[in-house]
Amino acid sequence: MSYQKVFTKWQTNPEQFWLEAAQDIDWVKAPVKALNGKNAPVYEWFTDSLVNGCYNAVDRHVVAGRGDQVAIIHDSPVTGTKRAITYSELQENVARLAGALSAKGVKLGDRVIIYMPMVPEALEAMLACARIGAIHSVIFGGFAAAELAVRINDCTPKAIIAASCGIEPARVVAYKPLLDNAIEMAEHKPEFCIILQRPQTDAPMIPGRDFGWVEVQKNVAPADCVAVLGNHPAYILYTSGTTGAPKGVVRPTAGHLVALNWTMRAIYNVGVGDVFWAASDVGWVVGHSYICYAPLIAGCTTIIYEGKPVGTPDAAAFWRVIDEHKVRSFFTAPTALRAIKRDDPQGLSVGRHAMDNLQAIFLAGERADPDTIEWAQRHTGKPVFDHWWQTETGYAIAANPLGLGALPVKIGSPSVPMPGYDLQILDEGGHPVGTNILGAIVVKLPLPPGCLPTLWNAPDRFHKSYLAHFPGYYETGDAGFIDDDGYIYIMARTDDVINVAGHRLSTGAMEEVLAAHPDVAECAVVGISDTLKGQSPLGFICLNKGVTRPHAAIIAECVSLMREKIGPVADFKRALVIDRLPKTRSGKILRAIMVKLADQQPYKEPATIDDPAILDELREALQSIGLAGKAL
Ligand code: COA
Ligand code: AMP
């Protein structure tokens, strides 16, 4: 069926649409009613069902006779190893680990933090939690101990599953000291930890609290799948908001099974036996949805790639993986393609690999710049589809659905809304604007199955962040417009969230770190354009009166403070000491102007600026580090 027909079918009867999609999931008790609006504007889907996520991702494929099919390929250029795990092996591994968790007292609804690099055991840990109805929260390895501690306090895990180390091309990152430090800092203490010892680093264990991955699974009975209610949280995934406190996005079990399964055929055009690869990290939403759950639910082979787009060993790495493992649909972030393009502008490495099975490349995570899309299309000869989504939704809000017959690509647009999303563009006052006019992108409630029903421990924050500004709508936090053909264009964030190498980061959180430096009186962090990473954070610091220490020393301290408090992933490497920040007369920091100045974009001096002379001071300061711009 064509996109238009499918979209109209959804519009005509959304509940029926999702009940039909639900037929592709194996239920313990199938849903009778799709939508539950009892607590509107907070909606739930499939509340009356009983289901198990792990059963749908693993066991049902073994039951269907596909136990010998490869479920997971671990391709790890950083360790020089490759490994394949069949569905039968995965079932055995997951049931045993789930058994170990149960034996140690982890029950339905308990939280388990997973702090692991790109190894198959990370997926096994997620699936083991799903098997017994424990709620996992995977934390990205590039975060510092302090960030891990914040998440431990928020979701109060009974257990933490970690690895001894992650491997970056230039160094081995020992995870265990970070974990120990985080537990030390956190008020909440987990009852126990399970540690996967990797050959590259042997983690010291704390007797009585830490158990080895192998040791803890000895002599335990494998656990069966536990049926959970449709609205039971499958996981909590923390993402950046405007403040230092991350938001715990809750993912409801039944909705995510139904929606993810639907996307595999409709958007990515893959099914049972196909190889699907999302080159992301398990710590991000792409990793949750498209490295772990969706490909496995759909009976595909998924790839866990432990390496980088370049340097492991070269710019051909992605093409090699696609070719070698016969990838049919491939998903990555524009920044990864930019890195490859930078190292191999002529695309010579692409030609070394046939990639016969590859039907398309999908991009998401940040705005896909036309240059990069065109470069990838030209050199791979494959269509490149941008699609737009967020941690909150768990899958694409807008895409070009290959499985429904691809629509014409308009470069610069992630194409059209997917069924489930009634997208509208509103002005500040909440009024719909016409086509081609920029405004806030919102989704008319209810959101489709699988999207967040709330934030963990923070229902009020959920309401305030997403529902309060435009009653009746979900506020995406993105600004953009819809053209005459119904294609959406994502232009900018409407909040203080920036996107660095496809990673969503909060400038508010970075400002909190800078403000904690004893010499800093006031500060601002903005995201400025970066040719590789899309955006890059730049700090502006005003010092306390009487501070005479060299600015370079203070900046270096701020850079290392950021690494210590947020982690290397923040990529905070540049800051400027200035006398004062540009503000409105009411004291609001003019961050947008600061970005325009740094990016050499024309800007209009706001009428409300407190003292226009400050813009000249800023320009001078920016010029001192090779940045600056001009007024309109
Ligand atoms: N554990 C520990 N540290 C990590 C880490 C992890 N899992 N992941 C990244 N880091 C560190 C890096 O080592 C680096 O540290 P450094 O400042 O000491 O060099 C820092 O965090 C920034 O890393 P990264 O963003 O990977 O930048 P890079 O310069 O090393 O590589 C790219 C640039 C473009 C190759 C890389 O950003 C990339 O592969 N991006 C794609 C990201 C992606 O797929 N995002 C999709 C999310 S949907
Ligand atoms: P995250 O929750 O980390 O996935 O980040 C989601 C945010 O990344 C979105 O709200 C957008 O700001 C941005 N984003 C994701 N995909 C795209 C895209 N295809 N085009 C433009 N921005 C995107």
Which tokens is 612 given?
């226009």
List, chain by chain if needed, residues with CB within 6 Å of any ligand 2 atom. Answer: 239, 285, 364-368, 386-391, 414, 476-478, 490, 493, 499, 504
Range of weakest confidence among 144-158, 177-191, 596-610: 596-610
Which tokens is 546 given?
């009487």
Pocket test of ligand 1: the residue of 503, 569, 571, 573 to mutate, having most ligand atoms within 8 Å of its CB, is 569
**Taking the CA atoms of the chain, what radius of gyration do you get in angstroms?**
24
Which tokens is 430 given?
């909440």
305 within 8 A of 315, measured Cβ to Cβ: no
Q: What is the pLDDT of residue 492?
A: 84
C-alpha to C-alpha distance for 326 and 349, rounded to whole angstroms: 17
- Single pTM value for the model: 0.93
pLDDT of 40 above 80: yes
Q: What is the pLDDT of residue 629?
A: 59
Q: Burial of 458 by CB count in 10 Å (0-12 exposed, 13-18 middle, 19+ buried)?
A: middle
51 within 8 A of 257, measured Cβ to Cβ: yes
| Triad 489, 401, 494: Cα angle to 5° | 25
Q: What is the pLDDT of residue 189?
A: 98
Q: How many residues make up the chain in this entry?
A: 632
**d(CA 415, ligand 1 centre) in Å:** 28
| Residue with tokens 């807008």, as numbered in its chain | 398
83 within 8 A of 99, measured Cβ to Cβ: no
What percent of the chain shows pLDDT beyond 90?
Answer: 86
**d(CA 474, ligand 2 centre) in Å:** 15
**d(CA 75, ligand 1 centre) in Å:** 18
Q: What is the pLDDT of residue 479?
A: 93
Q: What is the pLDDT of residue 493?
A: 87
Domains of the chain: 84-226 (3.40.50.980), 504-623 (3.30.300.30)
Of 392, 133, 418, nearest to 263 (Cα)?
Answer: 418
Q: What is the pLDDT of residue 632?
A: 44
Q: What is the pLDDT of residue 7?
A: 98
What does the H/E/C string look like for 519-531?
CEEEEEEEEEEEC
Over the stretch 527-563, which tens digit does the pLDDT of each residue have? 999 999 999 999 999 998 899 999 999 999 999 999 9
User: What does the pLDDT average to over 304-308?
Assistant: 98
Over the stretch 491-505, which tens digit does the pLDDT of each residue have? 888 888 899 998 989
Over the stretch 209-245, which tens digit does the pLDDT of each residue have? 999 999 999 999 999 999 999 999 999 999 987 777 8
Q: Burial of 397 by CB count in 10 Å (0-12 exposed, 13-18 middle, 19+ buried)?
A: buried
**d(CA 303, ligand 1 centre) in Å:** 19
Q: What is the pLDDT of residue 556?
A: 97
Whether 339 is in the pocket of ligand 1, judged by its Cβ within 6 Å, is yes
Whether 537 is in the pocket of ligand 1, judged by its Cβ within 6 Å, is no
Q: What is the pLDDT of residue 630?
A: 52
Beta bridge partners of 529: 535
Q: What is the pLDDT of residue 244?
A: 73
**d(CA 395, ligand 2 centre) in Å:** 11
Q: What is the pLDDT of residue 498?
A: 92
User: What does the pLDDT average to over 114-133?
Assistant: 98
Query: Which pLDDT band holds residue 608 (cuts at 50, 70, 90)?
Result: confident
User: What does the pLDDT average to over 377-393?
Assistant: 97
